[in-house]
Protein backbone atom coordinates (compact mmCIF):
# COMPACT_ATOMS: atom_id res chain seq x y z
CA UNK A 1 0.00 0.00 0.00
CA UNK A 2 1.55 3.37 -1.01
CA UNK A 3 2.25 5.87 1.76
CA UNK A 4 -0.22 8.75 2.11
CA UNK A 5 0.73 11.96 0.27
CA UNK A 6 2.74 14.53 2.19
CA UNK A 7 0.27 17.42 2.20
CA UNK A 8 2.74 20.12 3.35
CA UNK A 9 5.20 19.16 0.61
CA UNK A 10 2.47 19.19 -2.03
CA UNK A 11 1.34 22.67 -0.98
CA UNK A 12 4.93 23.90 -0.94
CA UNK A 13 5.45 22.63 -4.47
CA UNK A 14 2.28 24.40 -5.56
CA UNK A 15 3.23 27.67 -3.83
CA UNK A 16 6.98 27.82 -4.41
CA UNK A 17 8.02 24.98 -6.71
CA UNK A 18 8.61 25.04 -10.47
CA UNK A 19 5.54 26.04 -12.48
CA UNK A 20 5.84 22.84 -14.53
CA UNK A 21 4.81 20.75 -11.51
CA UNK A 22 2.98 23.33 -9.38
CA UNK A 23 -0.50 22.80 -10.81
CA UNK A 24 -0.38 19.02 -10.41
CA UNK A 25 0.77 19.43 -6.80
CA UNK A 26 -2.11 21.85 -6.11
CA UNK A 27 -4.69 19.48 -7.59
CA UNK A 28 -3.41 16.61 -5.44
CA UNK A 29 -3.41 18.78 -2.30
CA UNK A 30 -6.87 20.15 -3.01
CA UNK A 31 -8.29 16.68 -3.52
CA UNK A 32 -7.28 15.77 0.04
CA UNK A 33 -7.66 19.06 1.92
CA UNK A 34 -10.20 21.90 2.14
CA UNK A 35 -8.50 25.31 2.18
CA UNK A 36 -10.86 26.44 4.96
CA UNK A 37 -9.62 23.57 7.17
CA UNK A 38 -5.91 23.83 6.42
CA UNK A 39 -3.60 23.65 9.47
CA UNK A 40 -2.00 27.00 10.40
CA UNK A 41 1.41 26.27 8.84
CA UNK A 42 -0.24 25.34 5.53
CA UNK A 43 -2.77 28.16 5.71
CA UNK A 44 0.06 30.68 5.67
CA UNK A 45 0.93 29.48 2.16
CA UNK A 46 -2.56 29.98 0.73
CA UNK A 47 -1.98 33.68 -0.11
CA UNK A 48 0.93 32.51 -2.30
CA UNK A 49 -1.43 30.10 -4.05
CA UNK A 50 -3.74 32.99 -4.91
CA UNK A 51 -0.76 35.04 -6.11
CA UNK A 52 -0.09 32.18 -8.56
CA UNK A 53 -3.71 31.95 -9.66
CA UNK A 54 -2.85 32.61 -13.33
CA UNK A 55 -0.56 29.56 -13.39
CA UNK A 56 -2.74 27.21 -11.30
CA UNK A 57 -6.16 25.72 -11.98
CA UNK A 58 -8.16 27.05 -9.05
CA UNK A 59 -11.74 26.02 -8.40
CA UNK A 60 -14.26 28.90 -8.57
CA UNK A 61 -15.53 27.69 -5.17
CA UNK A 62 -12.06 28.28 -3.62
CA UNK A 63 -11.39 31.68 -5.16
CA UNK A 64 -13.38 33.84 -2.68
CA UNK A 65 -11.59 32.34 0.35
CA UNK A 66 -8.16 32.48 -1.29
CA UNK A 67 -8.75 36.07 -2.42
CA UNK A 68 -9.82 37.04 1.11
CA UNK A 69 -6.72 35.45 2.64
CA UNK A 70 -4.52 37.20 0.09
CA UNK A 71 -6.14 40.55 0.89
CA UNK A 72 -5.84 39.88 4.63
CA UNK A 73 -2.13 39.10 4.24
CA UNK A 74 -1.59 42.20 2.07
CA UNK A 75 -3.38 44.48 4.55
CA UNK A 76 -1.50 43.08 7.54
CA UNK A 77 1.79 43.35 5.71
CA UNK A 78 1.15 47.04 5.00
CA UNK A 79 0.55 47.61 8.71
CA UNK A 80 3.78 45.82 9.59
CA UNK A 81 5.74 47.78 6.98
CA UNK A 82 4.38 50.97 8.54
CA UNK A 83 5.35 49.75 12.02
CA UNK A 84 8.86 48.90 10.83
CA UNK A 85 9.24 52.33 9.25
CA UNK A 86 8.08 53.99 12.47
CA UNK A 87 10.95 52.29 14.35
CA UNK A 88 13.64 54.04 12.36
CA UNK A 89 13.36 57.73 13.43
CA UNK A 90 13.37 57.24 17.24
CA UNK A 91 16.22 54.73 17.03
CA UNK A 92 18.20 56.94 14.64
CA UNK A 93 17.77 59.83 17.09
CA UNK A 94 19.53 57.63 19.66
CA UNK A 95 22.30 56.78 17.11
CA UNK A 96 20.97 53.23 16.72
CA UNK A 97 20.60 51.77 13.25
CA UNK A 98 18.49 48.57 13.29
CA UNK A 99 18.83 45.62 10.95
CA UNK A 100 15.52 44.13 9.83
CA UNK A 101 15.52 40.34 9.78
CA UNK A 102 13.61 37.38 8.33
CA UNK A 103 10.68 38.11 6.05
CA UNK A 104 10.27 41.87 6.21
CA UNK A 105 13.29 42.81 4.04
CA UNK A 106 12.10 40.30 1.45
CA UNK A 107 8.59 41.71 1.55
CA UNK A 108 9.94 45.22 0.94
CA UNK A 109 12.47 44.29 -1.75
CA UNK A 110 11.94 40.89 -3.35
CA UNK A 111 8.30 39.79 -3.24
CA UNK A 112 6.61 40.93 -6.47
CA UNK A 113 3.24 40.60 -4.73
CA UNK A 114 3.12 41.91 -1.15
CA UNK A 115 0.07 39.77 -0.44
CA UNK A 116 1.82 36.52 -1.35
CA UNK A 117 3.24 36.00 2.14
CA UNK A 118 1.78 36.44 5.61
CA UNK A 119 4.06 38.09 8.15
CA UNK A 120 3.18 37.64 11.80
CA UNK A 121 5.52 40.29 13.21
CA UNK A 122 8.54 42.50 12.57
CA UNK A 123 11.97 41.23 13.61
CA UNK A 124 14.83 43.68 13.98
CA UNK A 125 18.27 43.56 15.51
CA UNK A 126 20.49 46.04 17.31
CA UNK A 127 23.95 45.54 18.85
CA UNK A 128 23.67 43.94 22.26
CA UNK A 129 25.21 46.92 24.13
CA UNK A 130 22.47 49.13 22.65
CA UNK A 131 19.48 47.00 23.65
CA UNK A 132 18.52 49.00 26.74
CA UNK A 133 19.04 52.30 24.94
CA UNK A 134 16.80 51.08 22.10
CA UNK A 135 14.10 50.12 24.60
CA UNK A 136 14.23 53.58 26.16
CA UNK A 137 14.00 55.28 22.76
CA UNK A 138 10.99 53.19 21.71
CA UNK A 139 9.19 53.55 25.04
CA UNK A 140 9.46 57.33 24.66
CA UNK A 141 7.35 57.22 21.48
CA UNK A 142 4.66 54.85 22.73
CA UNK A 143 6.12 51.37 22.29
CA UNK A 144 5.72 48.95 25.19
CA UNK A 145 6.88 45.51 26.29
CA UNK A 146 4.54 42.76 25.19
CA UNK A 147 5.50 40.95 28.40
CA UNK A 148 5.67 43.50 31.25
CA UNK A 149 8.40 41.58 33.09
CA UNK A 150 10.28 39.39 30.60
CA UNK A 151 13.34 37.40 31.62
CA UNK A 152 15.69 39.41 29.42
CA UNK A 153 18.83 37.69 30.61
CA UNK A 154 17.45 34.30 29.58
CA UNK A 155 15.89 35.24 26.27
CA UNK A 156 17.16 35.77 22.73
CA UNK A 157 14.71 38.56 21.95
CA UNK A 158 12.36 41.05 23.58
CA UNK A 159 8.77 41.16 22.26
CA UNK A 160 7.41 44.69 21.85
CA UNK A 161 4.04 46.20 20.99
CA UNK A 162 3.73 49.20 18.72
CA UNK A 163 1.30 52.01 19.65
CA UNK A 164 -1.14 50.33 17.23
CA UNK A 165 -0.77 46.96 18.98
CA UNK A 166 1.40 45.21 16.38
CA UNK A 167 4.07 42.77 17.55
CA UNK A 168 7.76 43.40 16.92
CA UNK A 169 10.71 41.44 18.26
CA UNK A 170 13.98 43.08 19.26
CA UNK A 171 16.96 40.76 18.72
CA UNK A 172 20.67 41.13 19.39
CA UNK A 173 21.87 38.03 17.51
CA UNK A 174 21.19 36.54 14.08
CA UNK A 175 20.50 33.01 15.37
CA UNK A 176 18.68 31.95 18.50
CA UNK A 177 20.03 29.65 21.23
CA UNK A 178 21.25 26.95 21.39
CA UNK A 179 23.33 28.29 18.49
CA UNK A 180 26.53 29.74 20.00
CA UNK A 181 26.56 33.46 20.64
CA UNK A 182 29.18 35.28 18.53
CA UNK A 183 30.31 38.82 17.87
CA UNK A 184 27.82 40.29 15.39
CA UNK A 185 29.96 43.33 14.47
CA UNK A 186 31.00 41.92 11.04
CA UNK A 187 27.34 41.18 10.25
CA UNK A 188 26.30 44.72 11.16
CA UNK A 189 29.20 46.22 9.18
CA UNK A 190 28.00 44.46 5.97
CA UNK A 191 24.50 45.88 6.17
CA UNK A 192 22.53 46.29 2.93
CA UNK A 193 20.25 49.30 2.49
CA UNK A 194 16.72 49.15 1.07
CA UNK A 195 13.89 51.71 0.77
CA UNK A 196 11.08 51.51 3.30
CA UNK A 197 8.25 54.03 3.25
CA UNK A 198 10.40 56.92 1.93
CA UNK A 199 13.15 56.06 4.40
CA UNK A 200 16.35 54.08 4.21
CA UNK A 201 16.30 50.84 6.17
CA UNK A 202 18.94 48.12 6.51
CA UNK A 203 19.07 44.34 6.33
CA UNK A 204 21.85 41.74 6.67
CA UNK A 205 23.78 40.73 3.57
CA UNK A 206 21.84 38.19 1.46
CA UNK A 207 24.14 35.35 2.58
CA UNK A 208 23.44 36.07 6.25
CA UNK A 209 19.70 36.45 5.66
CA UNK A 210 19.66 33.14 3.76
CA UNK A 211 21.47 31.46 6.64
CA UNK A 212 18.99 32.85 9.17
CA UNK A 213 15.93 31.82 7.15
CA UNK A 214 17.23 28.28 6.75
CA UNK A 215 18.43 27.79 10.34
CA UNK A 216 15.21 29.19 11.77
CA UNK A 217 12.97 27.47 9.25
CA UNK A 218 14.19 23.94 9.91
CA UNK A 219 13.35 24.34 13.61
CA UNK A 220 10.39 22.27 14.71
CA UNK A 221 7.46 24.18 16.18
CA UNK A 222 4.38 23.29 18.16
CA UNK A 223 2.05 23.30 15.14
CA UNK A 224 4.41 21.21 13.03
CA UNK A 225 7.34 22.11 10.82
CA UNK A 226 7.33 25.67 9.49
CA UNK A 227 6.71 25.87 5.75
CA UNK A 228 6.82 29.49 4.65
CA UNK A 229 10.60 29.70 5.03
CA UNK A 230 11.04 27.63 1.86
CA UNK A 231 8.95 30.17 -0.05
CA UNK A 232 11.03 32.99 1.45
CA UNK A 233 14.28 31.24 0.47
CA UNK A 234 13.02 30.75 -3.08
CA UNK A 235 12.19 34.46 -3.35
CA UNK A 236 15.57 35.45 -1.88
CA UNK A 237 17.51 33.21 -4.29
CA UNK A 238 15.55 34.58 -7.25
CA UNK A 239 16.18 38.20 -6.28
CA UNK A 240 19.67 38.40 -4.75
CA UNK A 241 22.99 36.98 -6.00
CA UNK A 242 24.55 34.82 -3.29
CA UNK A 243 28.25 34.87 -2.47
CA UNK A 244 28.49 31.14 -1.73
CA UNK A 245 32.05 31.19 -0.28
CA UNK A 246 30.92 33.86 2.18
CA UNK A 247 27.82 31.82 2.99
CA UNK A 248 30.01 28.81 3.80
CA UNK A 249 32.34 30.96 5.89
CA UNK A 250 29.36 32.34 7.83
CA UNK A 251 28.07 28.80 8.43
CA UNK A 252 31.48 27.72 9.73
CA UNK A 253 31.76 30.75 12.01
CA UNK A 254 28.35 30.05 13.53
CA UNK A 255 28.93 26.27 13.69
CA UNK A 256 25.63 25.70 11.90
CA UNK A 257 26.72 23.51 8.98
CA UNK A 258 24.78 20.42 10.13
CA UNK A 259 21.53 22.36 10.54
CA UNK A 260 21.95 24.21 7.23
CA UNK A 261 22.70 20.95 5.43
CA UNK A 262 19.44 19.48 6.70
CA UNK A 263 17.56 22.63 5.66
CA UNK A 264 19.19 22.54 2.21
CA UNK A 265 18.05 18.94 1.74
CA UNK A 266 14.48 19.97 2.65
CA UNK A 267 14.67 22.78 0.09
CA UNK A 268 16.09 20.48 -2.58
CA UNK A 269 13.16 18.09 -2.08
CA UNK A 270 10.76 20.89 -3.07
CA UNK A 271 12.85 22.82 -5.59
CA UNK A 272 15.77 20.75 -6.89
CA UNK A 273 18.90 22.50 -8.08
CA UNK A 274 18.64 25.69 -6.02
CA UNK A 275 21.82 24.86 -4.08
CA UNK A 276 25.11 24.23 -5.90
CA UNK A 277 26.17 20.64 -5.28
CA UNK A 278 29.60 21.67 -3.99
CA UNK A 279 28.02 24.03 -1.47
CA UNK A 280 25.75 21.26 -0.23
CA UNK A 281 28.76 18.99 0.23
CA UNK A 282 30.86 21.63 1.98
CA UNK A 283 28.13 22.46 4.49
CA UNK A 284 28.92 19.19 6.25
CA UNK A 285 32.00 19.88 8.38
CA UNK A 286 34.74 17.20 8.20
CA UNK A 287 34.64 16.89 11.97
CA UNK A 288 31.62 17.94 13.99
CA UNK A 289 31.77 18.59 17.70
CA UNK A 290 29.40 17.01 20.19
CA UNK A 291 27.87 20.46 20.71
CA UNK A 292 27.11 20.83 16.98
CA UNK A 293 25.39 17.43 16.90
CA UNK A 294 23.45 18.26 20.07
CA UNK A 295 22.36 21.64 18.69
CA UNK A 296 21.22 20.07 15.42
CA UNK A 297 19.29 17.36 17.27
CA UNK A 298 17.72 19.95 19.58
CA UNK A 299 16.41 22.36 16.96
CA UNK A 300 15.16 19.67 14.56
CA UNK A 301 13.60 17.36 17.15
CA UNK A 302 9.91 16.53 17.17
CA UNK A 303 8.15 19.04 19.37
CA UNK A 304 7.20 17.53 22.75
CA UNK A 305 3.51 17.65 23.61
CA UNK A 306 3.58 16.71 27.29
CA UNK A 307 5.21 18.50 30.23
CA UNK A 308 7.26 15.43 31.14
CA UNK A 309 8.82 15.22 27.67
CA UNK A 310 9.23 18.98 27.36
CA UNK A 311 10.99 19.48 30.69
CA UNK A 312 14.48 18.18 29.71
CA UNK A 313 14.67 20.23 26.51
CA UNK A 314 13.34 23.31 28.31
CA UNK A 315 15.97 23.04 31.03
CA UNK A 316 18.69 22.36 28.42
CA UNK A 317 17.68 25.45 26.48
CA UNK A 318 17.71 27.50 29.67
CA UNK A 319 21.23 26.35 30.51
CA UNK A 320 22.47 26.83 26.93
CA UNK A 321 21.76 30.53 27.30
CA UNK A 322 24.18 30.89 30.19
CA UNK A 323 27.55 32.20 29.04
CA UNK A 324 29.33 30.98 32.15
CA UNK A 325 28.76 29.01 35.32
CA UNK A 326 28.60 32.26 37.30
CA UNK A 327 25.83 33.56 35.03
CA UNK A 328 23.92 30.31 35.50
CA UNK A 329 24.21 30.47 39.27
CA UNK A 330 23.01 34.08 39.38
CA UNK A 331 20.07 33.09 37.21
CA UNK A 332 18.87 29.99 39.05
CA UNK A 333 16.00 31.82 40.81
CA UNK A 334 14.47 32.44 37.41
CA UNK A 335 14.50 28.77 36.37
CA UNK A 336 11.12 27.68 37.84
CA UNK A 337 9.29 30.62 36.28
CA UNK A 338 11.04 30.19 32.96
CA UNK A 339 10.25 26.47 32.81
CA UNK A 340 6.62 27.00 33.85
CA UNK A 341 6.06 29.57 31.10
CA UNK A 342 7.88 27.48 28.50
CA UNK A 343 5.95 24.33 29.41
CA UNK A 344 2.63 26.12 29.19
CA UNK A 345 3.56 27.60 25.83
CA UNK A 346 4.78 24.29 24.43
CA UNK A 347 2.09 22.00 25.76
CA UNK A 348 -1.07 24.08 25.43
CA UNK A 349 -3.40 21.99 23.25
CA UNK A 350 -4.20 23.29 19.81
CA UNK A 351 -7.35 22.68 17.80
CA UNK A 352 -7.93 23.05 14.05
CA UNK A 353 -9.93 26.05 12.88
CA UNK A 354 -13.65 25.41 12.40
CA UNK A 355 -14.94 24.90 8.87
CA UNK A 356 -15.60 28.03 6.79
CA UNK A 357 -13.49 30.20 9.10
CA UNK A 358 -10.33 32.03 8.15
CA UNK A 359 -7.47 29.55 8.73
CA UNK A 360 -4.90 32.29 9.27
CA UNK A 361 -4.17 33.14 12.90
Q: What is the model's pLDDT at position 357?
A: 44
Q: What is the model's pLDDT at position 269?
A: 82
67-121 tens-digit pLDDT: 999 999 999 999 999 999 999 999 999 999 999 999 999 999 999 899 999 898 9
120-165 tens-digit pLDDT: 899 999 999 999 999 999 999 999 988 765 455 556 788 999 999 9
pLDDT reading at 342 higher than 80: no
150 close to 158: Cβ distance less than 8 angstroms: yes
Residues with Cβ < 8 Å from 131, sequence gap 6 or more? 152, 158, 170, 172
pLDDT band at 325 (very low <50, low <70, confident <90, very high): very low
Share of the chain above pLDDT 90, in %: 48
The full length of the chain comes to 361
| Cα 101 from Cα 296, distance rounded (Å) | 22
For 58-62, 97-101, 324-328, 333-337, which range has the lowest pLDDT when averaged over its residues?
Answer: 324-328
pLDDT reading at 42 higher than 50: yes
Q: What is the model's pLDDT at position 312?
A: 57
4-41 tens-digit pLDDT: 678 888 998 899 888 888 999 999 999 999 999 998 88
Indicate the pairing of strand 167-171 with strand 157-161. antiparallel
351-361 tens-digit pLDDT: 444 444 445 55
For 129-143, 172-186, 220-234, which range has the lowest pLDDT when averaged over its residues?
Answer: 220-234
47 close to 115: Cβ distance less than 8 angstroms: yes
Q: What is the model's pLDDT at position 105?
A: 96
258 close to 285: Cβ distance less than 8 angstroms: yes
> What's the average model confidence in pLDDT over 236-257?
92
What is the rounded average pLDDT for all residues in the chain?
A: 81
pLDDT reading at 324 higher than 50: no
**Where in the chain does DSSP place strands (E)?**
99-100, 122-125, 144-145, 157-161, 167-171, 192-196, 199-203
Burial class (CB in 10 A: 0-12, 13-18, 19+), 129: exposed
pLDDT band at 271 (very low <50, low <70, confident <90, very high): confident
pLDDT reading at 280 higher than 80: yes
pLDDT band at 194 (very low <50, low <70, confident <90, very high): very high
> What's the average model confidence in pLDDT over 277-299?
73
CATH fold, domain 7-290, is: Beta Polymerase; domain 2 (3.30.460)
pLDDT band at 350 (very low <50, low <70, confident <90, very high): very low
Q: What is the model's pLDDT at position 223?
A: 45
Domain borders along the chain are: 7-290, 304-325+334-343
Higher pLDDT, 220 or 59: 59
pLDDT band at 190 (very low <50, low <70, confident <90, very high): very high
> What's the average model confidence in pLDDT over 258-273?
86
Q: What is the model's pLDDT at position 326?
A: 41
Amino acid sequence: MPPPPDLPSLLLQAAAGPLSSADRAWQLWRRLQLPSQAPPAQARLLPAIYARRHALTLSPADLPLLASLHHLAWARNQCLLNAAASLIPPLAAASIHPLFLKGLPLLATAYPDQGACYLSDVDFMVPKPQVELALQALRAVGWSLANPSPLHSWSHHIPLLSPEGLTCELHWGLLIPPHPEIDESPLIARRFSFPLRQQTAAMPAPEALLLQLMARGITREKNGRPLRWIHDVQVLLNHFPIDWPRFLQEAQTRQSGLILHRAALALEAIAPGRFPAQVLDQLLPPRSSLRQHATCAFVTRDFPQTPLLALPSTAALFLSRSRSAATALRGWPGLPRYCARALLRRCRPTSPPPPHSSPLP
